[in-house]
Structure formats: C-alpha cells, structure tokens
Amino acid sequence: MPRIQIHTEINAKVEIVFDLSRSIDLHKISTVHTNEEAIAGKTEGLIGLNESVTWRAKHFGIYQQLSSKITAYKRPHYFVDEMQKGIFKSFKHQHLFTVEDDRTIMTDLFDYTAPLGFLGKIADQLFLKKYMTRLLQKRNQVIKEFAESERWKEVIPIE
C-alpha cells in the first residue's frame, strides 16, 4: 500500500491548525481548482468523530464522488479519516499534530490503494501518487496561510 508522508511547519497554535485541518469550509477553499463541494453528510463547519462527508470534485476531467468518515479523533493531537465509498480501493488519512518551539508540525500520513488492480499500480507509479501529493501540499499551504494570519477566524467559529 503506497504512503504519502508530508510534514508542514506552521507558526500558529496547534488548536488552530487542528481545527483548520478538519474545517469543511477551508477544504472547499483549498480545492477550488477541482470544483470540490460537500454534497452530503457534514457539509460545513468542523467535522468530528464518527461524522461523514461526501465530496463531489473534478479530477482528471471527470466528476467523482468520495465519502469519508472520521474514525479516530483526539483534539488537538490527531484525527483519522477513512474512505467509505469512492474511486480508490481504500484510503486512510492520518492527521498528526505536534508542538515544537511554539510551532505546530502537521504531519499527513496518507495510505491508499489505487483502483483497478494492476492498472491502478501502473497509474500510481506514472501519475497518481504525484497528483495526490500535490493536492495534499496545496491543502496544507492553504491551512498554513490561514493559520499564520487572522484569516483562520473566517472558517473557525470563535468560542
């Protein structure tokens, strides 16, 4: 099973980074280039344990739907979302958050299995892993931009 691992250093409080990472609204902003929209389940706000979301997005010129569920959660240290239904054979995305010298280190561990057996393995080597890595890096860059400015207040309800 292929794994994508990304570490992103963010100059913001871990609680802010954690909440931005589970914000449906920020996810929509970070994936505007794929016309991604939440169409079922939790469609706005902050997703939490045992909640699901179904996304509709355009990837590789084709509209697709993908449903995922938060299967593990401990604020502000980690949460896990796992595909319930979609184009992948499976995926599990672990979001880990640690603090080092007043900075948050956000780590993504994205384990997945491409569809279509042998053809999926070839597609993974040719373009899928690179595509998914760029998608996650783009998302993380948006999280970083919002967390390191006052923009996080646009998508996280202030308690």
pLDDT tens digits, 63-75: 999 999 999 999 9
**Tens digits of per-residue pLDDT, 3-33?**
999 999 999 999 999 999 999 999 999 999 8
% of the chain beyond a pLDDT of 70: 99
Q: Contacts by 148-153 with C-beta closer than 8 Å and gap 24+? A: 148/10, 148/11, 148/12, 152/12, 152/16, 152/19, 152/20
Q: How high is the pLDDT of residue 116?
A: 76
| Nearest by Cα to 27 from 46, 41, 8, 9 | 46
Which pLDDT does position 19 carry in this prediction?
A: 98
Mean pLDDT within 40-62: 94
Residue tagged 């240290």 (tokens): 77
Residue 38 β-bridge partners: 55
**Which residue type does 93 have?**
H
Q: Mean per-residue pLDDT for 37-55?
A: 97
Per-residue pLDDT band at 49 (split at 50, 70, 90): very high
159 pLDDT band (50/70/90 cuts)? low
Between 104 and 88, where is the model more confident? 104
Query: What pTM value is reported for the model?
Result: 0.94
